[in-house]
Amino acid sequence: MTVIVPYPGGGSVDLVARALGEQMTQSLGQSIVIENRGGGGGAIGALAVAQADPDGYRIVLGTQQTHGTNDALIPHLAYKTIESFAPICGICTVPHALVVKRGLKAQTAKELVDLLRAEPGKLNYGSTGNGSSSHLAAELFKLKTGTQAAHVPYRGGAPLVQDLVNGIVDFGFVAVANILGQIEGGLVRAIAIASSTRMPQLPDVPTLAEAGVADVDADAWFAYFAPARTPPERITRLAGSIEKALSAPSVQETFKRNAVITHWRPPDAMPAFVAAEVKKWADVVRASGAKPDP
């Protein structure tokens, strides 16, 4: 059995797939191969599964990018986000923190909104790239608060974090896993979490909703998908194996170490969830004019 990771090795999706794959091998009684097939914002790996035989022996660990934002960001996407897949289950989220540079006169999310409204377009924000979850989280924040700020795209999390630490950019939405050490070290300040609940790693940081900014949940999420027309009994068996694997101590340790939050969604909850995500991010893309990096 093959699990396609539609991104290069070493990232969060890869780490999660490998941790779960070891446990799934035991419960399914068959070997599992993790195959990294990156490129195209995850679209290349997702397409490989969309075109696979619908027997459930080739699945993809998809994300809000492959099965959410790509639908609006990529013209002539080679697969249909909903029709080409049979969703298996959702497994986890990677929350984003709203982080500001040291010295910025904004101790809370409300104060940042007030600052942005007082000086429209003067502040800038960094992201991990055009069309990335980091970029779209900030655009959603701007839309919901009616604010303006200049976008500074980076090629990944490391340079973004570095320029936040150095005060080159004023704020940004950053996956907590990429910036937790700098937050704990006082090099930057996390003022809110763009999720429905607080994070165990940052218990004193409120959610945006708690801080008075509603409807800006922007979790990166991971979920397994099989090709469309995969037999329901195979989907059920795979979902059961994955749910069992999630509870393994080794998996939970990997999640904790990488600031990943377990969030189980059963097969029957996935279609409505994916459809809602596609619409949500299409609205953000359309309103912001966001385009992916070439």
Half-sphere exposure of 197 (CA within 13 A, CB side): 8
User: Is the model's pLDDT at 294 over the cut of 90?
Assistant: no
User: Is the model's pLDDT at 163 over the cut of 80?
Assistant: yes
| Model pLDDT for residues 55-112, shown as the tens digit of each residue | 999 999 999 999 999 999 999 999 999 999 999 999 999 999 999 999 999 999 999 9
For the chain, list the strands marked E by DSSP: 2-5, 33-36, 58-63, 85-94, 96-101, 124-127, 150-153, 171-175, 188-193, 220-227, 261-265
Across the beta sheet with 124-127, the strand order is 150-153, 124-127, 171-175, 96-101, 188-193
Locate tokens 């080739």: which residue? 58
Give SS3 for 230: coil
pLDDT (average), residues 115-135? 95
The answer to whether 175 touches 96, Cβ cutoff 8 Å, is yes
User: Is the model's pLDDT at 292 over the cut of 90?
Assistant: no
pLDDT at 272: 98
Q: Comparing 80 with 293, which gets the higher pLDDT?
A: 80
Partnered with residue 96 across adjacent β-strands are 175
Partnered with residue 92 across adjacent β-strands are 222, 262
**Assigned fold of 2-93+220-288:** D-Maltodextrin-Binding Protein; domain 2 (3.40.190)
Whole-angstrom Cα distance, residue 192 to residue 111? 12
pLDDT at 48: 98
Closest CA to 226 of 56, 65, 79: 56
pLDDT (average), residues 12-20? 95
User: What ranges do the domains of the chain cover?
Assistant: 2-93+220-288, 96-193
The answer to whether 95 touches 193, Cβ cutoff 8 Å, is yes
- The amino acid present at 261, given as its one-letter code, is I
Name the average pLDDT for the chain.
Answer: 96
Q: What percent of the chain has pLDDT over 70?
A: 100
The domain defined by 96-193 carries CATH number 3.40.190.10: yes
96-193 has the same fold as 2-93+220-288: yes
Torsion of CA 279, 174, 192, 196, to 10 degrees: 40
Helices (runs of H) and strands (runs of E) counted in the chain: 10, 11
Locate tokens 């497994």: which residue? 91
pLDDT (average), residues 210-229? 96
Tell me how far CA of residue 66 lies from CA of 44, 158, 184, 250, in angstroms.
9, 22, 31, 27
User: Is the model's pLDDT at 268 over the cut of 80?
Assistant: yes
The answer to whether 227 touches 47, Cβ cutoff 8 Å, is no
Whole-angstrom Cα distance, residue 173 to residue 184? 16
Sign of the CA dihedral running 125, 130, 133, 136: positive
